[in-house]
Amino acid sequence: MESRASNRARNATSRRSDSLQVERIGLKTGFFQDLYHFLLKTSWPMFFFLFVAAYLVVILLFAAAYFSVEGSIANARPGSFFDAFSFSMQTISTIGYGAMLPEGVFADLLATIEVFVGLLGVALGTGLVFAKFSRPTARIMFSGVAIVGRHQGQPALMVRMANERTNHIVDARCNFHLVRDIVTVEGEFMRTFNDLKLVREHSPIFAMTWTAIHLIDESSPLFGMDADGLRDARAQLLVTFSGLDEDFAQQVHARRFYDAPEIIWKARFADLMSYTAEGLLVIDYARFHDVLPLEEPA
């Protein structure tokens, strides 16, 4: 029977803390101040929505300009904005069906500008799509919660990771960092990062699963702390992962923040691995986030 800790682990996967929860004030931020970075980070549906929206807005603006000067489009129906929109679409995409054409100096200049805008938009859009496609990403699955249990008889903080792809990540490295609030002896408030030493920080090949372990001994920043102490310090556990993707031959990165309530004490991860009668290793990823109570107190 699964414990409440296991259910909390599953629920945590739907509200992953992928960044520091910070409200930034006093900075000049805006949609257009770092548009390139925003478009690279945004999802594909949002990217195409914004691209199509910008395309239609530009067409509509040029259509309104054509429509504002009567007789600027030859063979267009008088007073038809749809014809102006259709001509604008043909011009920006350089289709040119031939049924309508610019008439007069104003229309010729406007068509020239629109063609240039269209070519520039195609170049920028192609570059952005290529940049999003070519950017290597790591599909690393982190356990829904971190746990404080026991390893080789000692108290230990543990996080489980898995490679969601079927390829190998070479020279994989993992690090733990404890993020918490402190007040210095001078009375200054600081948000500090403390490195947590792992039993094994490096793996030559990462293909299946990896449980990263930090022993809580006298040298650990967690020594003597409990769940209440972590909450009072507004502590977070930052887990960083990096490695070389063998398919892309490029460095990939992943990270995961665990808030204090997402660190389960006196628990252990459910076993994933077993062997078939033929000796084949089986990994049950359906139990990846399952957490069981620790029989022996940590």
Calculate the average pLDDT of the chain.
Answer: 85
Report d(CA 244, CA 256) in Å as an integer.
19
Write the pLDDT tens digit of every residue in 2-60: 545 555 554 544 445 455 566 666 566 665 667 888 888 888 899 999 999 999 999 99
Instruction: Give me the CATH code for the 138-293 domain, please.
Output: 2.60.40.1400
Higher-scoring residue by pLDDT: 154, 30: 154
Instruction: Please compute the mean of the pLDDT values over residues 92-106 and round it to a whole number.
Output: 87
211-232 pLDDT tens trace: 999 999 999 999 988 888 888 8
Taking the C-alpha atoms of residue 194 and residue 197, their distance in angstroms, rounded to an integer, is 10
Choose among 156, 173, 188, 161: nearest CA to 267: 156
Written as six digits, the tokens of 113 are 């500008």
Q: What is the reported pLDDT for 52?
A: 93
CATH 3.20.20.80, domain 35-134, yes or no = no
For the chain, give every domain's residue range.
35-134, 138-293
If one compares 164 and 20, the residue with the highest pLDDT of the two is 164
Q: Is the pLDDT of residue 148 over 50?
A: yes
Q: What is the pLDDT of residue 36?
A: 82
User: In this predicted structure, what is the pLDDT of residue 13?
Assistant: 46
What is the tens place of the pLDDT at every residue in 169-217?
Answer: 999 999 999 998 888 888 888 888 899 999 999 999 888 889 999 999 9
Instruction: Find out whether 192 and 158 touch, Cβ atoms under 8 Å.
Output: no
Beta strands in 133-276 (DSSP E): 140-142, 146-151, 154-163, 169-183, 189-196, 202-206, 209-215, 236-245, 250-259, 263-265, 267-269, 273-275
